[in-house]
Chains A and B, each alone.
Chain A
Amino acid sequence: EAGVVQSPRYKIIEKKQPVAFWCNPISGHNTLYWYLQNLGQGPELLIRYENEEAVDDSQLPKDRFSAERLKGVDSTLKIQPAELGDSAVYLCASSLGTATLNEQFFGPGTRLTVL
């Protein structure tokens, strides 16, 4: 079974430029998560989708960040414009989404460097 796929693996951009990350979750997983991970820290949730619906986006900086999951499968996270402080690893995870079984499986992440 294929795991969570993310692309690109690395991205280097200049500040004020836009950037987008793509995630394909594990087949059959209806819950998808985007996390941000800074060096030496645990993952921090940005947004959680149940199928196409964003059910928790309270930690997403909506002035510059946006996300979509149009058909309830793949998802895209966008930053526009990027700032220096956005340099981090952006992780995508998926789970079956039942309330009592919340085993989240992560992709390899996209390492973003903003110059």
Chain B
Amino acid sequence: GQQLNQSPQSMFIQEGEDVSMNCTSSSIFNTWLWYKQEPGEGPVLLIALYKAGELTSNGRLTAQFGITRKDSFLNISASIPSDVGIYFCAGQLGNNRKLIWGLGTSLAVNP
């Protein structure tokens, strides 16, 4: 099925570093959602974006809805070991509630 291009696929960083990941698509989305999934758990919603250009923060996390509505970015500042997990982007086309998912970015943080 249709999927988003999410990059990078994986990241291994030192504690305290900033992290940036993004998702792109050839389609225009009206909603972008960012989730984090830890081993053995379901995805947890981090940030929801509903307007082009919107910039939203949740603690050390900041996400942006791209102006073209075809991309979104997630930044994590001052990473800590508990940031470890897989981060997924998901986009919604039109008013269809079906979400299109990226393949995830696996984040590892070295203390």
B88 to A42, Cβ gap below 8 A? Answer: yes
Which of A13-21, A61-69, A71-79, A93-101 is the contact stretch? Answer: A93-101
Interface SS of B by simple majority = loop
Total A-B pairs, Cβ < 8 A: 61
- A105 proximity list for chain B (CB < 8 A): 45
Q: Which of A96-115 contact B (CB under 8 A)?
A: 97, 99-109, 111
Looking at chain A, what size class is its interface with the partner chain?
20 to 34
Q: How far is A45 from B50 in the complex, measured between Cα atoms in Å?
A: 21
Could you say which of B42, B48, B95 has the most chain A C-beta atoms within 10 Å of its C-beta? B42
Which of B31, B42, B48, B103 is the one whose CB lies under 8 Å from A106?
Answer: B42
Which of B42, B45, B50, B103 is the one whose CB lies under 8 Å from A100?
Answer: B50
Can you report 22 A-B residue pairs in the complex whose CB atoms are below 8 A from each other? A4-B42, A6-B42, A31-B97, A41-B104, A42-B88, A42-B90, A43-B43, A43-B101, A48-B98, A91-B43, A93-B42, A95-B97, A100-B31, A101-B50, A102-B31, A102-B97, A102-B99, A103-B45, A103-B48, A106-B43, A107-B42, A109-B41
